[in-house]
Amino acid sequence: MAGDTPVSHHTVIANTPWEAATVGTKKDVQPHRDERAWVRVTEESSRAVYKYAFK
């Protein structure tokens, strides 16, 4: 994400949202605060949304 705009998307099968963010971006991530570039992970079964930023 760049601000609130999606810039790409990937479908990833992972055990945790954190792992999905890492596998999908091929980068280490940390919890999202106010970073402009960040990663949104949506768990399809529950529609829960998780936010991460790059380390």
What's the first-to-final CA gap in the chain, in angstroms?
15
User: In whole angstroms, what separates CA 47 from the centre of its chain?
Assistant: 13
The mean of the pLDDT values for the chain is 95
pLDDT tens digit sequence for 41-54 = 999 999 999 999 99
Region 27-46 average pLDDT: 95
CB atoms within 10 A of CB 18: 15
Residue 41 CB neighbour total at 10 angstroms: 22
- Helices (H) and strands (E) in the chain — how many of each? 1, 3
Compute how many other C-beta atoms are within 10 angstroms of the C-beta atom of residue 15.
7
Q: 3-class SS at 9? A: coil
Q: What pLDDT is attached to residue 50?
A: 97
Q: Tell me, what's the pLDDT at 40? A: 96
